[in-house]
Structure formats: C-alpha cells, structure tokens
Amino acid sequence: MKKLLSLILIASTIVACSSDGEVGPPGPPGQDGVNIVGQAFEVEADFNDPDYSVFADIPSTIEVLESDVVLVYWLELVDDGTDVWNLIPQTIYFDDGEFQYNYNHTNFDVNIYIQGNIDPGTIGERFTQDQIFKIVVLPVDYAQDNNLDVSDYQSVKTSLDLNESNIKRFEVK
C-alpha cells in the first residue's frame, strides 16, 4: 500500500509539473551568421635581407582560437591559367643547396620565412619577391572529422566552400 501511495504521489507531481503554461516573450535576436568552419586571406610578400621573413597580420574579421589549424599555401606557379598551390613547408632544391618556405603563427599574425643551407641572397627574385601565400584558418575538429586532405588546397577550398572573390589580399613588404 505504501508503494502504491508513493507511486500515485510521484505520478501526480509529474502531471502537475508537465502542463504547458503560457508561451513567454521572444528572446533577443541573434547575431548575423559567420563562417565558423573556415576562413582565408592572401598575402603578397617580399623576402629581403637580413632576415628573409615577413609578418602578416591576421585580419580582425578572422578570429583564431588556440585549437584552430592555420595552414599556409604558396602559389608556386600559374599553369595555363590554373593556380598551383603548395602547402608549406615547401622545400626548393638547387645544385648548391636548398631552402624552404616555412611559417609559424600566433592568434594575431603569421610569420612566413625562408630557411635552409643556402644563402637566401643567392636564390633570386623568382623566390624572394612578389610571393603569394594563402592563409587558411579552420577549426581542428572540422579537419579531423571530415578527413580533409589539407595538403591539397583545392580540396580544402571545396570543403570549406571558399569563394576566391571573397578572399582579400594584403601586401606585406
């Protein structure tokens, strides 16, 4: 009898608490949508003596979190009107040595630099002047969950639905 009484008490409490009341006022409007999946921008850079390094500020419209992946692609060449992008670090070999484009970043800027066992002053303007880099910021979970091949810029671009006309270019000379 005690169990039955307890069961009736619990059931009546659930019924009393589950009735729908009046609908409350609507909440405040949300913010305009933003692309939280991935964003990109370009920099045009000259690498000069003494450090052959450039710092590109990340635009204030792009928020970089500690867990985000920052990828940098170098425009190696344009082949019959098609851009050929390579993920860096990218090593370039010469008869007398080699160098590579490399980078590191903070949440506010990206440092792209030349390093190697060859004097950067001897590699020529083809590799030091007017170099174009595309910087892509994406959440690490997105890259992992989608098995994204980050070495292939076209794959990243398609996956993130990046529109080239919306990617802004900045000069860092």
Residue whose token pair is 């008869």: 95
| 2-50 residue pLDDT tens | 555 554 555 555 555 545 668 778 777 655 544 457 899 999 999 999 9
Least confident of 2-6, 45-49, 53-57, 89-93: 2-6
> Cα–Cα distance between 40 and 80 in angstroms, integer?
24
- Report the pLDDT averaged over residues 54-60: 95
- CA neighbor of 149 nearest in space, from 91, 77, 87, 68: 87
Q: Give pTM, 2 decimals.
A: 0.77
CB contact at 8 A, 136 and 71: yes
